[in-house]
Amino acid sequence: MVFGQGTHQYTVQENWWTLPDGWEFGWVPAVAVDSQDRVYVYSRSEHPMVVFDLDGNFLTSWGDDILKDAHGIFIDDDDNIYCTERDTHVMRKFTTDGELLMTLGTPDEPGADGEPFNKPTDLAIGPDGEMYITDGYGNARVHKYSPDGELITSWGQPGTGPSEFDLPHCVRVDPRNRLMVADRENNRIQFFTLDGEYIEEWGDLLHPDTIFIGDDDLVYIAELDQRITIMTLDGEVISQWGSEPGSSVPGEFMACPHGIWLDSRGDIYVGEVQADARLQKFVRQR
C-alpha cells in the first residue's frame, strides 16, 4: 500500500527493528535520528533510550537509571540529545553515549504557576544555541534559555487567541528563524519571532503533536488524530495520509501518532502513544 501523494509517497517497512531477547517497547512518544543515521527510540519502557541503525539492528541503550517519563526528543547539529521528561518536570541533555551534560528543572518538583516546569513537552535549539522549551500539560508557556541554561524569558497563557495556548506540545525553529509551536488542543501551529512576538498561525490541524523540519525545508507533522501532514513553509499541504482509530493495517495508525523524524534518505519514523510498541518506518518512493 502506498501512502501520501505527489512527490512524497511512501510504503511501510514492516518489522524494521529488532530488540534484544526479552525486551519490549511500551508507548513510543518520541523518535529521532542523528547525523550518523542512528535512530534513537525514546519510549516508556524498562529501557527508555534504545538506539538502532537504519536497518533496525540494535546498537545500544542507555538512560535506564535517569529517564523516567519519555515525552519529547531533539538532536542538535552536534548530536547532543535533549530529552524532555513530562511527569518529572525536567529537560536533560546527553551525549550520544548517554553521558548526562545538563538538567533543567528540579526532578519530580513542578514549578510554580507559569514558571518552569510543569509537565514540559519538547525542546528546540535556536540559531545561537538558545533553548526553547514548551511547557506544557500543567502550564501554557514557552521558555527561552541561554545555551548554558539561564532563563531569558517566557511567554504564553491559557486561551485560544494569539500567544495563548491549550497544551503547547512541541517547538521547532524553521529555516526562516520563526519559532513554530504546536498548540495541540487548539488544533493549530502558532509562529513567533525568536523573542516571542506572534506572527501568524496555521489552523485546520488534527491535534498536532510533533513537528519535524527537513533539509528540504518541508514541515512534517504528526497529528494525534491518526494523521501525518507534510507542508511547505508557506503552509501548502503537499502530502497527507491517515486512518480510522484502531486500524491494524501496516502504515495506518492503531493508536495516536506522537513522535516524528526523518533520516538522511528521507524516510519517516513515527512513534505512537495509547498502544505499546507502535513504531513505524515509512520509506519514501524514489
227-257 residue pLDDT tens: 999 999 999 999 999 988 888 889 999 899 9
Lookup: cell for 252: 495506518
The pLDDT confidence band at residue 26, using thresholds 50, 70 and 90, is: very high
28-84 residue pLDDT tens: 999 999 999 999 999 999 999 999 999 999 999 999 999 999 999 999 999 999 999
138-161 residue pLDDT tens: 999 999 999 999 999 999 999 999
Does 122 score more than 90 pLDDT? Answer: yes
Note the pLDDT of residue 59: 98
Query: Closest Cα partner for 31 from 259, 255, 227, 283?
Result: 259
| Residue percentage of the chain with pLDDT more than 90 | 96
Question: Is residue 241 one of the residues assigned to a domain?
Answer: no
- How many structural domains comprise the chain? 1
Question: Is residue 92 one of the residues assigned to a domain?
Answer: yes
Candidate from 185-194, 202-211, 241-250 with smallest mean pLDDT: 241-250
Question: Is residue 234 one of the residues assigned to a domain?
Answer: no
What's the per-residue H, E or C state across the chain? CCEEECCEEEEEECCCCCCCCCCCCCCCCEEEECCCCCEEEECCCCCCEEEECCCCCEEEEECCCCCCCEEEEEECCCCCEEEEECCCCEEEEECCCCCEEEEECECCECCCCCCCCCCEEEEEECCCCCEEEEECCCCCEEEEECCCCCEEEEECEECCCCCEECCEEEEEECCCCCEEEEEHHHCEEEEECCCCCEEEEECCCCCEEEEEECCCCCEEEEECCCEEEEECCCCCEEEEEECCCCCCCECECCCEEEEEEECCCCCEEEEEECCCCCEEEEEECC
- CATH code of the domain containing 181: 2.120.10.30
Q: What's the whole-number mean pLDDT along residues 122-128?
A: 97
Note the pLDDT of residue 174: 98
Question: Is residue 250 one of the residues assigned to a domain?
Answer: no
Query: Closest Cα partner for 52 from 70, 72, 31?
Result: 31
State the average pLDDT for the chain.
Answer: 97
190: domain range?
3-228+257-284
Question: Is residue 244 one of the residues assigned to a domain?
Answer: no
Does 193 score more than 90 pLDDT? Answer: yes
